[in-house]
Amino acid sequence: METNYLDKAGSWLEGSYDEETKREIRRLIETNLKELEDSFYRNLEFGTGGLRGVMGVGTNRINKYTVGMATQGLSNYLKKSFKGRSGLSVAISFDNRNRSKEYAGITASVFAANGFKVYLFDELRPTPLLSFTIRHFHCVAGVMITASHNPKEYNGYKAYWEDGAQITAPHDSDIIGEVEKITDPSMVHFTGGDSNIKIIGKEVDEEYLKAILSLTLSPEMVKKHDHFKIVYTPLHGTGIKLVPEALKRAGFKKIINVPEQDVIDGNFPTIKSPNPEEASALAMALKKAEESGADLVMATDPDADRLGVAVRNQKGSLVLLNGNQTAAILTYYLLERLKEKGTIIDGNNPHYYMVKTIVTTDLLKSIANKYGVEMFNVLTGFKFIAEVVRQNEGKRVFIGGGEESYGFNAGEYVRDKDAVIACVLIAEAAAWAAERGKSLYELLIDIYTEFGLYKERLVSITKKGIDGLEQIKRMMKDFRSKPLQNLDGSQVVLIHDYKISETVDMISDLRYKIKLPQSDVLQFVSSDNSMVSVRPSGTEPKIKFYFGVKTEISSAKDFAKADKILEKKLDKLVEQISLL
pLDDT (tens digit, 9 = 90+) per residue, 178-188?
Answer: 888 988 889 99
Residue 389 buriedness (CB in 10 A; 0-12 / 13-18 / 19+): buried
Distance of CA 177 to CAs 46, 155, 173, Å?
11, 22, 6
- pLDDT, one tens digit per residue, over 197-250 is 999 999 999 999 999 999 999 999 999 999 999 999 999 999 999 999 999 999
Given a cut of 50, whether residue 1 has pLDDT beyond it is: no
In this structure, are residues 154 and 87 in contact, taking their beta carbons and an 8 Å threshold?
no
pLDDT (0 to 100) of residue 177 = 85
Given a cut of 50, whether residue 270 has pLDDT beyond it is: yes
In this structure, are residues 92 and 143 in contact, taking their beta carbons and an 8 Å threshold?
yes
- Specify whether 148 is catalytic: yes
Closest Cα partner for 443 from 419, 423, 420, 426?
426
pLDDT (0 to 100) of residue 48 = 54
Given a cut of 50, whether residue 140 has pLDDT beyond it is: yes
In this structure, are residues 57 and 39 in contact, taking their beta carbons and an 8 Å threshold?
yes
Residue 265 has φ and ψ, to the nearest 5°, of -155, 120
| pLDDT category of residue 175 using cuts at 50, 70 and 90 | confident
Given a cut of 80, whether residue 488 has pLDDT beyond it is: yes
The residue-averaged pLDDT of 392-406 equals 97
Look up residue 518 and give its DSSP letter. Answer: -
The residue-averaged pLDDT of 139-152 equals 95
For each of the domains in the chain, give its residue range(s) and CATH number, in order of start: 42-200 (3.40.120.10), 208-451 (3.40.120.10), 453-578 (3.30.310)
pLDDT (0 to 100) of residue 179 = 85
- pLDDT, one tens digit per residue, over 520-556 is 999 999 999 999 999 998 777 899 999 999 999 999 9
The DSSP element (H or E) to which 505 belongs, if any, is strand 502-505
- pLDDT, one tens digit per residue, over 490-519 is 999 999 999 999 999 999 999 999 999 999
User: Distance between CA atoms of 432 and 337, rounded to whole angstroms?
Assistant: 9
Catalytic-role residue among 100, 148, 218, 439: 148
pLDDT (0 to 100) of residue 49 = 61
Given a cut of 60, whether residue 3 has pLDDT beyond it is: no
Closest Cα partner for 499 from 535, 524, 464?
535
pLDDT (0 to 100) of residue 46 = 67
The residue-averaged pLDDT of 161-170 equals 92
254 CB neighbour count, 10 Å cutoff? 17
Q: Is 400 helix (H, G, I), strand (E, B) or coil?
A: strand
The residue-averaged pLDDT of 410-428 equals 98
Percentage with pLDDT > 90 across the chain: 89
85 CB neighbour count, 10 Å cutoff? 10
User: Distance between CA atoms of 534 and 543, rounded to whole angstroms?
Assistant: 7
Q: Exposure string (b/e) for 294-325, b if CB count within 10 Å is 16 or more?
A: bbbbbbbbbbbbbbbbbbbeeeeebebbbbbb
Q: Is 532 helix (H, G, I), strand (E, B) or coil?
A: strand
Name beta bridge partners: 502: 497, 513
- pLDDT, one tens digit per residue, over 21-32 is 999 999 999 999
In this structure, are residues 319 and 441 in contact, taking their beta carbons and an 8 Å threshold?
yes
Q: Exposure string (b/e) for 526-553, b if CB count within 10 Å is 16 or more?
A: beebbbbbbbbbbbbbbbbbbbbbbbeb
Computed over every residue of the chain, the mean pLDDT equals 95
The residue-averaged pLDDT of 572-579 equals 92
Give residue 292's identity as a one-letter amino acid code. Answer: S
User: Distance between CA atoms of 580 and 578, rounded to whole angstroms?
Assistant: 6
pLDDT (0 to 100) of residue 579 = 77
Given a cut of 50, whether residue 98 has pLDDT beyond it is: yes
The residue-averaged pLDDT of 364-386 equals 96
The DSSP element (H or E) to which 223 belongs, if any, is helix 219-224
The residue-averaged pLDDT of 83-105 equals 97
Residues 6+ apart with CB under 8 A from 557: none
Beta strands 531-536 and 522-526 are: antiparallel
pLDDT (0 to 100) of residue 573 = 97
pLDDT (0 to 100) of residue 291 = 97
Look up residue 44 and give its DSSP letter. Answer: -
pLDDT (0 to 100) of residue 2 = 45
